[in-house]
């Protein structure tokens, strides 16, 4: 147990020391919420915290014209390690992010040590074996975890990978399959994107193992079938998240990206090999993937090849080296590893898998060296007619090469981690961020208290964050996420809205037409006298009707950023023939959906087109007087349908596509595993 405790504490304390060195919270005002951590991840955590409290986990209006919150969570916020963070008061959440980043890296060391402890048959010494925590720290403090320390949603996969691989080893040796099912399914649930890479690596690892082992054809077939079966079960358990996420990702711009046709290498082999050296610049934009885990580990891996007597395993090692080199450096394999599209910066997002393999091989080699030294010492003792040395016992007079190796690795890994923290980890002023966020939240709260409307949208006068609605708790339009649909992106680009990340974001810019037609009723400003807000008097509700012949003029005016208040007011006066009233959110659908998934209201109109400022084809169904309507897209993104003259009751109902089927598959898979174990026991 002490070995496991030290395996957690060593990387954890190194990261804490790095945070203290940089004056990060709670030791100062610094925060890891730099770049996307502030623009994307932290606002999403705030939104998730609010969604859990309100029970609204499937749909949100805090960005775009509404978005699939369930799919967003499947990529960004599904980690169970965030649950304690949600219990913290808002003023402590930014500091909590720093601490939880350190805890994650500590847990990576812990799970790595759990795997390494059982991966060799070498006798373990009594007491604390520093070899175990030091090699685990090489994995936990690798260039990958340091470079992507603020890519919080990827770290659960780093933690779970050793358990997934241990589960594969258990399947191969028939020691059980539950660890593999639980570890792999949770990895996929915590982040389906990195989970895909872990699945791919699991196949590669399993293939390498069965090729290296001697067995009959029948045994080989049995192992393959067991591996496939339990992999499918793990996938089925996670279907409640992966199926809705699949449908959402299918609508993104990235889903249509192709390979490009020309096979090429990115870097010379010398540059890739140099990535294994310490004190290098981490790769955050482009460049050689982050693969450093200790030059000592690389030396041990090279040595292990020469002391390996099994020819089949030697062939596997050589083949593996070639395959992983090409995976790091060849565009077609890079394309496959990253979910059949090229990553937008942040290269080698799967490289922690290779790092784990290197650390494992280095640890095994170090154990073999220790075994050889012990056998040599015992042989000398016998020759001198002395009592043989006990396993793990070394007289003080005996020199230990293994101890020297462990000491060198410890010094190298910790020194590299401190150097990287001091010189390369980006920090921001977390206290300043929180104070500004608090001001905007207060204004949003004041608006909510004063406005009696059931639904309206708000935006910032001056852009400040890429997900301000999620950050400050209001229904907004600005949005930045990898799950953003292509139709949403194109819609706002055509309107002239600014973009931070191509295909992934929109930053709402002030526009009289957009304010009116998309229901932006309030604008929050932040001047020298403090934060306040202005109200838009020419604003339409979430649903309104226009003349049928006015659609083309509507789209043209919507996309005209130069349109002034007078032009918009004239269009509304001349072409809007009905507006929804008595709007209510979250009632009337038998309690089967959350508040955000049901909107109703009444409208008095002449015959024309009903325009609804919700995303078309995102799971929404429109009912007029209880009759489901055929809908079409307006401007490629908004919903429109025909409406007849008279007074009508409008209902808008949402279902998350794939959620129902995915939930059934997950429940059946979990029940099947439970029944199997109950009968077996």
Which tens digits make up the pLDDT trace of 40-76? 999 999 999 999 988 889 999 999 999 999 999 999 9
Comparing 618 with 165, the larger pLDDT belongs to 165
In this prediction, residue 623 carries a pLDDT of 95
Distances 53 to 57, 86, 87, 108, 498 between C-alpha atoms, Å: 10, 10, 11, 30, 33
Residue 434 and residue 416 share a domain: no
Alpha helices in 467-511 (DSSP H): 468-472, 486-494
What's the whole-number mean pLDDT along residues 266-272? 94
pLDDT for 457 equals 94
The pLDDT of 154-169, averaged and rounded, is 97
Q: Is residue 353 part of a domain?
A: yes
Lowest-pLDDT choice from 37-51, 121-135, 398-412, 479-493: 121-135
Q: Does a structural domain hold residue 667?
A: no
Looking at residue 299, its pLDDT comes to 95
Q: Is residue 680 part of a domain?
A: no
Question: How far apart, in whole angstroms, are the C-alpha atoms of residue 75 and residue 188?
Answer: 9
Mean pLDDT confidence for 275-286: 92
Q: Where are the alpha helices (DSSP H) in 397-511?
A: 401-423, 430-450, 468-472, 486-494
Sign for the pseudo-dihedral over CA of 470, 476, 478, 481: positive
Residues 137 and 230 in one domain: yes
pLDDT value of residue 590: 44
> Does the pLDDT of residue 188 top 70, yes or no?
yes
Asked if the structure places residue 247 within a domain, the reply is yes
Q: What is the reported pLDDT for 592?
A: 45
State both tokens at 144: 């990958």
Could you give the number of structural domains in the chain? 2
665 occurs within a structural domain: no
Identify whether the C-beta of residue 531 lies closer than 8 Å to the C-beta of residue 524: yes
Measured over the CA atoms of residue 612, residue 617, residue 622 and residue 628, the dihedral's sign is positive
**pLDDT score of 28 more than 80:** yes
573 lies in some domain: yes
DSSP 593: S
Domain boundaries, position 476: 430-656
Q: Does 388 score more than 60 pLDDT? A: no
Q: Are residues 413 and 437 in the same domain?
A: no
Same domain for 301 and 265: yes
Q: Sign (positive/negative) of CA torsion 44, 47, 49, 52?
A: negative
pLDDT band at 22 (very low <50, low <70, confident <90, very high): very high
**Cα atoms in the 13 Å half-sphere on the side-chain side of 676:** 11
Which pLDDT value is given to residue 341? 87
Q: Which two tokens stand for residue 100?
A: 């939880």
pLDDT at 628: 95
Give first-to-last CA distance, the chain, whole Å: 28
Residue 65 lies in a domain: no
Cβ 27 vs Cβ 19: under 8 Å:
yes
Do residue 443 and residue 397 come from a single domain? no
Please state, for a pLDDT cut of 70, what percent of the chain lies above it: 94
Task: Mark whether 169 and 311 lie in a shared domain.
Answer: yes
Per-residue pLDDT band at 396 (split at 50, 70, 90): very low
Q: Taking 60 as the threshold, does the pLDDT of residue 589 lie above it?
A: no
* Domain boundary, last residue among 369, 398, 423: 423
Residue 635, token pair as written in the block: 């401007």
- Which of 405, 423, 441 is the last residue before a domain boundary? 423
Residue 242 has which token pair?
């992966």
* pLDDT single digits (tens) 97-136: 999 999 999 999 999 999 999 887 666 667 678 899 999 9
For residue 447, pLDDT beyond 80: yes
Mean pLDDT of 638-661: 94
177 occurs within a structural domain: yes
Residue 527, beta-bridge partner list? 530
Q: Is residue 275 domain-shared with residue 377, that is, in the same domain?
A: yes
Residue 190 near residue 160 (C-beta atoms within 8 A): yes
One domain for residues 148 and 232: yes
CA distances from 546 to 121, 214, 515, 554, 615 (A): 77, 74, 17, 9, 18
Residues 636 and 561 occupy one common structural domain: yes
CA dist list (Å): 274 to 135, 181, 225, 291, 541 = 21, 37, 40, 10, 59
pLDDT of residue 385: 58
- Whether 384 shows a pLDDT value over 50: the answer reads yes
Domain boundary among 404, 423, 442: 423
Is pLDDT at 268 greater than 50 in this prediction?
yes
Interval 368-381: pLDDT, tens: 888 777 777 667 66
Q: Report the predicted TM-score, pTM, of the whole model to 2 decimal places.
A: 0.92
Residue 368 shares a structural domain with residue 453 = no
* 7 token code pair: 């395996």
Same domain, 341 and 454: no
**Residue 529 has what pLDDT?**
67
Same domain, 163 and 89: yes
Q: How confident is the model at residue 387 (pLDDT cuts 50, 70, 90)?
A: low
Q: For residue 175, which phi and psi values (nearest 5 degrees)?
A: -95, 0
Mean pLDDT, the chain, integer: 90
């Amino acid at each position: 147990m002490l070995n496991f405790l030290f395996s957690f504490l060593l990387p954890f304390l190194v990261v804490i020391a790095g945070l203290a060195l940089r004056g990060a919270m709670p030791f100062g005002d610094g925060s890891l919420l730099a770049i996307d951590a502030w623009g994307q991840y932290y606002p999403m955590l705030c939104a998730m915290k609010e969604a859990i409290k309100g029970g609204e986990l499937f749909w949100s209006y805090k960005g775009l014209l509404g978005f699939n919150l369930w799919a967003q969570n499947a990529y960004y916020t599904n980690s169970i390690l965030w649950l304690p963070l949600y219990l913290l008061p808002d003023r402590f959440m930014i500091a909590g992010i720093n601490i939880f980043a350190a805890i994650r890296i500590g847990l990576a060391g812990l799970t790595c040590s759990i795997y390494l402890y059982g991966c060799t048959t070498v006798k373990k010494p009594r007491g604390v074996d520093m070899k175990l925590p030091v090699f685990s720290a090489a994995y936990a403090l690798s260039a990958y975890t340091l470079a992507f320390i603020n890519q919080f949603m990827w770290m659960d996969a780093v933690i779970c990978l050793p358990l997934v691989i241990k589960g594969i080893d258990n399947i191969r040796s028939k020691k059980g399959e539950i660890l593999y099912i639980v570890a792999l399914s949770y990895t996929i649930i915590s982040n389906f994107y990195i989970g895909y890479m872990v699945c791919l690596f699991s196949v590669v690892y399993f293939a390498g193992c069965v090729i290296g082992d001697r067995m009959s054809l029948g045994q080989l077939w049995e192992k393959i079938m067991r591996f496939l079966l339990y992999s499918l079960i793990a996938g089925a358990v996670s279907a409640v998240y992966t199926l809705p996420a699949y449908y959402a990702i299918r609508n993104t711009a990235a889903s249509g990206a192709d390979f490009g046709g020309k096979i090429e290498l990115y870097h010379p082999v010398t540059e890739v090999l140099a990535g294994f050296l310490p004190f290098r610049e981490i790769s955050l934009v482009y460049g050689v993937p982050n693969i450093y885990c200790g030059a000592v580990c690389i030396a041990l891996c090279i040595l292990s090849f020469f002391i390996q007597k099994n020819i089949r395993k030697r062939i596997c090692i050589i083949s593996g080296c070639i395959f992983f080199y090409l995976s790091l450096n060849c565009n077609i394999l890079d394309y496959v590893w990253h979910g059949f599209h090229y990553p937008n910066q942040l290269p080698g997002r799967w490289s922690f898998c290779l790092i784990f393999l290197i650390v494992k091989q280095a640890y095994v080699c170090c154990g073999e060296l220790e075994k050889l030294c012990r056998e040599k010492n015992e042989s000398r003792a016998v020759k001198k007619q002395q009592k043989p040395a006990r396993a793990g016992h070394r007289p003080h007079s005996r020199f230990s090469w293994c101890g020297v190796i462990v000491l060198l690795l410890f010094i190298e890994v910790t020194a590299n981690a401190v150097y990287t923290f001091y010189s390369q980890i980006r920090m921001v002023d977390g206290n300043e961020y929180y104070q500004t966020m608090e001001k905007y939240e207060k204004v949003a709260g004041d608006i909510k208290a004063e406005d009696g409307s059931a639904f309206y949208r708000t935006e910032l006068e001056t852009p400040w964050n890429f997900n301000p609605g999620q950050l400050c708790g209001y229904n907004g339009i600005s949005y930045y996420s990898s799950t953003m649909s292509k139709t949403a992106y194109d819609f706002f680009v055509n309107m002239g809205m600014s973009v931070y990340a191509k295909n992934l974001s929109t930053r709402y810019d002030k526009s009289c037409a957009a304010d009116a037609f998309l229901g932006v009723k309030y604008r929050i400003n932040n001047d020298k006298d403090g934060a306040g807000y202005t109200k838009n008097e020419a604003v339409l509700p979430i649903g309104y009707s226009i003349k049928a012949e006015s659609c083309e003029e509507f789209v043209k005016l919507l996309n005209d950023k130069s349109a002034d208040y007078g032009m918009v007011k004239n269009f509304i006066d001349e072409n809007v023939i009905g507006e929804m009233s008595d709007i209510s959110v979250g009632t009337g659908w038998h309690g089967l959906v959350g508040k955000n998934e049901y909107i109703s209201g009444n409208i008095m109109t002449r015959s024309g087109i009903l325009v609804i400022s919700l995303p078309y084809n995102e799971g929404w169904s429109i009912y007029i007087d209880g009759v489901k309507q055929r809908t079409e897209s307006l401007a490629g993104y908004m919903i429109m349908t025909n409406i007849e003259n008279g007074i009508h009751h409008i209902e808008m109902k949402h279902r998350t596509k794939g959620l129902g089927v995915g939930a059934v598959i997950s429940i059946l898979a979990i029940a099947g595993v439970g029944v199997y174990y109950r009968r077996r026991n």
